[in-house]
Amino acid sequence: MSTQFTWWRRFYSTQKLDPKEMYKGASKLLQRIEAGEFEHDGLWQQSYLEDAILDYTMNEFVEKNPGVSQDLYEKVYIDNRKKKSKRVNVMRENHLKNEINMLYNLKNELAKEFGIEDDIVWNFIEEFDGTTRELYFAVKDLANGKPIRSAEVTAQIPRLINQQPRHILKRANLKYLPLWRKIILKYNWHFAYPYE
């Protein structure tokens, strides 16, 4: 994607699995799920970094300009806050679009893979409490009329593809990694981030 359309991204986005990298004879949908194509994108959480960057930028401004007037400080702060708000709004709007599109695509792919009606899959997704990989095997069991296997049994099934790393800062934004680590230590949503 062109940087013109993704100027607001500080992290690499999830990449689609190249069909050439997939194992032949195995479920392509399962391989895409294991690679992380249908996982939560994290843009909402990543938007928390923008508040920290605003504070960092303003502290840096004060350090470089000691004795700056209150009027100039407020003008710079308002300009930076507007930029932050614009970026956060775009990130959160894209997050909501991505989430609903990902859920509908997953529902359609599962229905197609197992020959089940969309409504049955959608209702099952709404009630299901587990990972996307566990959901795949649960819908498979549902389609085959078998009892739904537990998370422990699913975990014993060997993975075909390793999940791609998530929430990696782009090179141009690596200076914000210490700020991101502080945010992760504070929140660490679902232990989805590799930092400790």
Report how far residue 140's alpha carbon sits from residue 69's, in angstroms, rounded to the nearest whole number.
66
Going by C-beta distance under 8 Å and a sequence separation of 6 or more, which residues neighbour residue 135? 106, 110, 125, 128
174 occurs within a structural domain? no
12 occurs within a structural domain? no
13 occurs within a structural domain? no
Boundaries of domain holding 32:
28-160
Kindly list the distances between the CA atom of residue 189 and the CA atoms of 9, 97, 163, 183, in Å, as whole numbers in the listed order: 19, 20, 18, 10
83 occurs within a structural domain? yes
Kindly list the distances between the CA atom of residue 25 and the CA atoms of 17, 18, 31, 75, in Å, as whole numbers in the listed order: 16, 15, 11, 61
Kindly list the distances between the CA atom of residue 47 and the CA atoms of 86, 95, 121, 133, 188, in Å, as whole numbers in the listed order: 11, 10, 31, 27, 14
User: How does pLDDT run across 149-189, given as a tens digit for each residue?
Assistant: 999 999 999 999 888 887 889 999 999 999 998 888 887 76
* Residue 169, phi then psi, degrees to nearest 5: -65, 145
Q: How many domains does the chain have?
A: 1
Report how far residue 183's alpha carbon sits from residue 100's, in angstroms, rounded to the nearest whole number.
26
Taking only the tens of pLDDT, the chain with its 196 residues reads 445 577 888 998 888 888 888 899 899 999 999 999 998 888 888 999 999 999 999 999 999 998 889 999 999 999 999 999 999 999 999 999 999 999 999 999 999 999 999 999 999 999 999 999 999 999 999 999 999 999 999 999 999 988 888 788 999 999 999 999 888 888 776 555 454 4
Q: What is the pTM of this model?
A: 0.81
123 occurs within a structural domain? yes
Report how far residue 112's alpha carbon sits from residue 92's, in angstroms, rounded to the nearest whole number.
30
116 occurs within a structural domain? yes
193 occurs within a structural domain? no
